[in-house]
Chain A
Amino acid sequence: MAIDFNQNYFELFELECSVDINSEILEKKYLNFQKNFHPDKFVNSSDQEKRLSLQITSYINEAYKILKNDYLKSMYLLKIKGYDIDNQNSTISDPSFLIHQMELREESDEIMSKKNESLKKDFFIKLNDLKKKLQNNFRIKYELGQFEEASDSIKKIKFYMSIENDLKRNG
């Protein structure tokens, strides 16, 4: 039982380090990893093996979660390129986006106070469309090697997601 914890998640799954990955390989490899390393396979093994199995499956689960989710995967790709958005101040200097964002906040607050389910649903659809556009933008910029601009798209998605989460949790 051995796995190199220093390789990146793409290397772990033997996938090309890119925006589009072969999801079939991802799924297949993931299940294969689980079949070999899941703690259920080591209930009668030594404590050391059990610990190792726990570490490996935690690592695999984390890697899978990130590669399966477009947003998380995008952040991870940028991190590999040296743009760590997660631990960066996510400031966006684009004034029009800031205004747009304030408007969305207001809309969200209003839905929260009205508790109107259908308005809420429409709002979520709207946010989703905005996110999709940005995700697409990210792909283009990333593939062009314009990582600064690509990061900008993801930072914007992050704002939309925080609005979405607040509404989900408190609406």
Chain B
Amino acid sequence: MALLQISEPGKSQDPHQKKYYVGIDLGTTNSLVALISNGSPRVLQNKEGNELFPSIVTYKKNSIVVGEYSNDISSITFSSIKRMIGKNLKDLNDSDFYSPCEYIGDDSIVKFKVFENLFTPIEISSEILKHLKNITELTLMGDIEGCVITVPAYFDDAQRQATKDAASLSGLKVLRLLNEPTAAAIAYGLASKKISKIMVYDLGGGTFDISILDLNDGVFKVLATGGDSSLGGDDFDNLIVDYIQNKLDIDLDSEKKHILYLYAKEIKVMLSEKETVDIELEKIGLKKYKLTFSRDDFNSLIDNLVQKTLRISKEVLLDANLSVNDINEIILVGGSTRTPFIKKSVEDFFNKEPLSNINPDNVVAIGASIQADILSGSSKEELLLLDVIPLSLGIETMGELVEVIIPRNSTIPTSSSKEYTTFKDGQTAMSIHVIQGERDLVSDCRSLAKFIIKDIPPMLAGAARIKLEFQIDADGILSVSATETTTNKVTSIEVKPSYGIDDSQIEKMLKDSFDNAKTDIESRHLNEAIVEGKRVILSINSALKIDGSDLLNEDEFGSICKARDELEGKLSSGKKESIIEAVKNLEKISETYVSRRMNSNIQKIMKGTDIKEFN
């Protein structure tokens, strides 16, 4: 397109070609995107200036909305879908996950009945990632070339695989999955320390996670993790609501209660800055009532919950065979750690001041962005992260016992092979059950996959040698292959993952999403048009600033500005066609300007160059 040539010859860079590497914190309550820009981390904001994108997916009759609560009763809204990723029906029934609709499932996966369709947690999560991808590419006016996505340290193979699947469904290329506590440690630059034991205290909106990392010469090991999946800042808000309701001594309907709940959130945030807050219920449309609420009042409300987090911290320390004094650094993660009382309690417990100068909401995303930058190869920083698998991998043997193949805490990537033989004469198939966990009994561990090895050459019992090779990649994800070693015949493996979905299913889903989601494609086209429009405006503005008044008369200048303003106005119209039209119009009107610039640029270059160079 004509306007592209406005930049100086030889130095032009098409902004549309810009490739970005980002870090994504795919959280239970909120998600964030960060990237390294000009050497320092930057957290992306939405139109309203928020850095936190609520991890909420709403299915309406004809569209999908991400990140907003909807009052539409006919729509179906999923929140905290992360709790269900890589989980099966039994997990769902055992959990306190709130399903907004009917669901079906088996020992491998859950599917939610959304109108006429069935969606897995993977597909629902992929909507969040798709949304983040769109916003990022719009804001940056470029493409995401690769990303690092963070996952909780305790995520097993199934949950990691499911997260990766969600990313590939959303069209994101995952460079690496990164443990959330490790990301936090990277954000604080702790990776450069020789030896250190790091405790990460992560109190978010709805979950509490505690992890102990062992850092030894660039090798990050997760020593122990623990937590409570239903403890977080939301509980603090509810306690404030209960407190006010008790003082008022009335019952509120659900709508009023929700208003009060949002107000309670505000009060909590204010108390991080101020000692007291005047609660004025008239302000939020409730009855006339005034009450002074102090930080001490709040602290005594939440004291029980805070003590609970410290009890869990103690247990995790015990698990890791460590005492409080062994911990070199404590990192605070999650919005709820802004509460001064929590900071103080953690400090008293560990007898050490925790690291908290990076915004605790952003710290994980920032760590991920640093890792993404390093992986992209553009960073000069030398950081090598050697991760370990959090849980042992094994297979089922006689008597429902687990035989460990790759023990927990093995540095990854790693591989291990084992030989098995046939049990009966002429046996041609063998069934293998892969397990993840630390317990002796299969039923106490998590079932990962069931394989059937077929086409074993028929031989006498015990003569065939089946070599099974287990490979774990740098993301902690397992793959298995099998060979019959006496004949060197590669036996085929029929993979039936006990969790989630296999590759062919992903392929089908990808296809489905292209076939069915016409709205998706349309919104992508619209996004592309907006990006293009913004880019054109940007380049014309910068050109005008440089030589607009030199090369153009007043009329010409004015008409270009007019066309530009018109385009600017169309950007928010939501209509792809009118944006494209306005772009074309602007380009047409500035054609002469463009060619004058080219000429003047060439002259400038010629002037500064010795004539000999042209020979």
Interface bits A38-55 vs B (CB < 8 Å: 1, else 0)? 111001100000000011
| Interface residue? B146 (CB, 8 A) | yes
From B217, B411, B412, B472, name the one whose CB has the most chain A CB atoms within 10 angstroms.
Answer: B411
Contacts A40-B384, A40-B385; is A54 near B473 (CB within 8 Å)?
yes
| Interface residue? A128 (CB, 8 A) | no
- In the complex, chain B residues whose CB is within 8 Å of the CB of A54: 413, 471, 473-474
- In the complex, chain A residues whose CB is within 8 Å of the CB of B413: 39, 54, 57-58, 61
Contacts A31-B218, A54-B413, A61-B412; is A43 near B175 (CB within 8 Å)?
yes
Interface bits B208-231 vs A (CB < 8 Å: 1, else 0)? 000000000110000000000000
Q: Is chain A's binding surface mostly helix, strand, loop or mixed?
A: helix
From B377, B413, B438, B472, name the one whose CB has the most chain A CB atoms within 10 angstroms.
Answer: B413
Interface bits B435-478 vs A (CB < 8 Å: 1, else 0)? 00011100000000000000000000000000000011110000
A169→B438 contact, CB < 8 A? yes
Minimum Cβ distance to chain A for residue B58 (Å): 34
A52-93 with Cβ < 8 A to chain B: 54-55, 57-59, 61-62, 64-65
Contacts A31-B218, A57-B413, A61-B414; is A40 near B438 (CB within 8 Å)?
no
A55 to B414, CA, bound (A): 8
Identify the closest chain B residue to A166 (Cβ): B440
A151 to B215, CA, bound (A): 35
B339-374 with Cβ < 8 A to chain A: 374
Identify the closest chain A residue to B374 (Cβ): A40
Interface bits B271-304 vs A (CB < 8 Å: 1, else 0)? 0000000000000000000000000000000000
The residue from A35, A59, A65 contacting B410, defined by CB atoms under 8 A apart: A65
B474→A44 contact, CB < 8 A? no
A58 to B471, CA, bound (A): 8
From A31, A43, A44, A61, name the one whose CB has the most chain B CB atoms within 10 angstroms.
Answer: A43
| Interface residue? A170 (CB, 8 A) | yes
B414→A38 contact, CB < 8 A? no
Identify the closest chain A residue to B479 (Cβ): A54
- In the complex, chain A residues whose CB is within 8 Å of the CB of B176: 40, 43
Identify the closest chain A residue to B416 (Cβ): A62
A84 to B438, CA, bound (A): 27
Minimum Cβ distance to chain B for residue A163 (Å): 15
Minimum Cβ distance to chain A for residue B169 (Å): 20
| Interface residue? A135 (CB, 8 A) | no
Minimum Cβ distance to chain A for residue B478 (Å): 12
A56 to B582, CA, bound (A): 55
Identify the closest chain A residue to B388 (Cβ): A61
B217→A31 contact, CB < 8 A? yes
| Interface residue? A27 (CB, 8 A) | yes
- In the complex, chain A residues whose CB is within 8 Å of the CB of B377: 44
B175→A65 contact, CB < 8 A? no
- In the complex, chain A residues whose CB is within 8 Å of the CB of B415: 55, 58-59, 62
A35→B375 contact, CB < 8 A? no
Rank and list the top 5 A-B pairs by shortest CB-CB distance, nearest first: A58-B415, A39-B474, A43-B175, A58-B413, A61-B411
5 chain-A/chain-B pairs, Cβ below 8 angstroms: A40-B374, A44-B377, A62-B416, A169-B438, A170-B440
